[in-house]
Amino acid sequence: MNKFKMHHLIIFLFFIFLISPKVSFADFKPLKLQIEKFQNVLAESDTISKRDVKKNLKFLMNKAKLVENKLAKGHINDDLKFLMDKYVYKNSKNSVKSSELTYWIKHLHDELKMFKKDMGIDG
């Protein structure tokens, strides 16, 4: 192969690499385990104290920081900030119905599956 063809082949392969879909990596395991722990806590009683909600959401936020994929990390952190705001900061009661939080925590769990299945984020 002459230099001209080799040069074009290298440029072509470079562009193919740039536009090819890439599998992204995000370590969801620590977050998934923390979500499951929180689900177990919520299953124990009909209500949970606002203090325990805050503590568990902070644990989830710390695990979410470990997610390497920026898209997944941003989406998960936004959801957790929303939950913290709704159930801790703007909540005038001292407790929360576990069923309300169970819905949202299951939603987070389902999002992890969606990131992996539909978006190709390996974790």
User: Over the stretch 45-82, which tens digit does the pLDDT of each residue have?
Assistant: 999 999 999 999 999 999 998 888 788 888 899 999 99
Does the structure show a pLDDT above 70 at 119?
no
Between CA 57 and CA 28 the distance in angstroms is 16
pTM as predicted: 0.74
- When the pLDDT of each residue in the chain is averaged and rounded to a whole number, the result is 82
pLDDT at residue number 18: 45
Max alpha carbon distance in the chain (Å)? Answer: 76
From residue 65, give the alpha-carbon distance in Å to each of 20, 24, 46, 54, 94: 28, 16, 29, 16, 28
Confidence of residue 123 (pLDDT cuts 50, 70, 90): low
Between CA 24 and CA 71 the distance in angstroms is 10
